[in-house]
């Protein structure tokens, strides 16, 4: 047997608690840069991260030792702690407990990366709610089977 190899790409979306629009402009940039640097330092291959006032999108490539649940705990837990420690927001910063995730096939990685990097444009005219509903339609999800 040769060397085994795995690439499991996941597109994850998570929002601030109660969708509070606290990730404004320079705060957003700082938070996302921090998340990327911290993730990489923990051996998490975070390809790209971007988002809007109230949510973040990540494209992550999991190793065989990682579970999505562990990776998300690390990313969300540490970043919320960091935002509060550095008092970047006027109120206590918290991420929503849940997150939305879908696997991405190797041939769609570029497309998803581009989609995440152009987040600001997507949200000029539509809310997070609308975006998530479109995703759910695209993947044939209904509210009853999204867990």
pLDDT, tens digit, for every residue of 92-125? 999 999 999 999 999 999 999 999 998 777 777 6
Q: Which tops the pLDDT comparison, 100 or 138?
A: 100
Whether the per-residue pLDDT at 128 is higher than 80: the answer is no
Has residue 89 been placed in a domain?
A: yes
Q: Say which DSSP state 57 is in.
A: E
Task: Measure Cα distances from 43 to 24, 81, 93, 100, 107 in Å.
Answer: 28, 19, 25, 22, 24
- What pLDDT is stored for residue 6 in this prediction? 82
Sheet holding 8-15, edge to edge: 45-52, 55-62, 8-15, 100-104
Q: What is the pTM of this model?
A: 0.84
Whether 77 and 97 have beta carbons less than 8 Å apart is answered as: no
Instruction: Give phi and psi for 121, each to the nearest 5.
Output: -60, -45
As for how many domains the chain has, the answer is 1
Q: How confident is the model at residue 143 (pLDDT cuts 50, 70, 90)?
A: low
Mean pLDDT score, 73-100: 96
Indicate whether 137 belongs to any domain: no
Per-residue pLDDT, 145: 47
- Cβ–Cβ < 8 Å for 49, 1: no
* Residue 14: count of CB within 10 angstroms of its CB: 19
Whether residue 132 is contained in a domain is answered as: no
Query: Please, what is the average pLDDT of the chain?
Result: 89
User: Over pLDDT 70: what percentage of the chain?
Assistant: 92
- With respect to residue 86, please indicate whether it lies within any of the assigned structural domains: yes
Mean pLDDT of 83-94: 96
Q: Over 70: is that where the pLDDT of 132 sits?
A: yes
Is residue 52 within 8 Å of 132, Cβ to Cβ? no
Residue 38 belongs to a domain: yes
- Assigned domain for 130 exists: no
What integer pLDDT is reported at residue 2 of this predicted model?
66
Instruction: State which residues form the domain around 26.
Output: 8-120
Angle at 36 between CA 75 and CA 100, to 5 degrees: 50
Q: Give me the CATH number covering residue 74.
A: 3.30.70.1290
Q: What is the pLDDT of residue 17?
A: 96
Question: Residue 103 forms beta bridges with which residues?
Answer: 10
Is residue 13 a part of any domain in this protein?
yes
24-55 pLDDT tens trace: 889 999 999 999 999 999 999 999 999 999 99
Any domain includes 70: yes
> Rounded CA gap, 77 and 68, in Å?
14
How many whole angstroms separate alpha carbon 39 and alpha carbon 36? Answer: 5
């Amino acid at each position: 047997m040769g060397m085994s190899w795995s690439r499991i790409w996941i597109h994850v979306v998570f929002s601030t608690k109660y969708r509070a629009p606290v990730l404004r402009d320079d705060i957003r940039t700082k938070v996302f840069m921090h998340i990327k640097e911290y993730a990489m330092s923990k051996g998490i291959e975070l390809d790209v991260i971007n988002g809007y006032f109230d949510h973040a999108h990540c494209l992550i490539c999991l190793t065989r030792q990682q579970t999505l649940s562990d990776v998300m705990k690390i990313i969300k837990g540490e970043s919320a702690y960091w935002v509060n420690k550095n008092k970047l927001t006027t109120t206590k910063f918290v991420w929503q407990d849940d997150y939305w995730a879908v696997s991405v096939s190797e041939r769609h990685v570029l497309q998803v990366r581009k989609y995440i990097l152009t987040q600001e444009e997507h949200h000029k005219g539509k809310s997070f709610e609308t975006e998530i509903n479109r995703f759910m339609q695209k993947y044939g999800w209904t509210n009853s089977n999204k867990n």
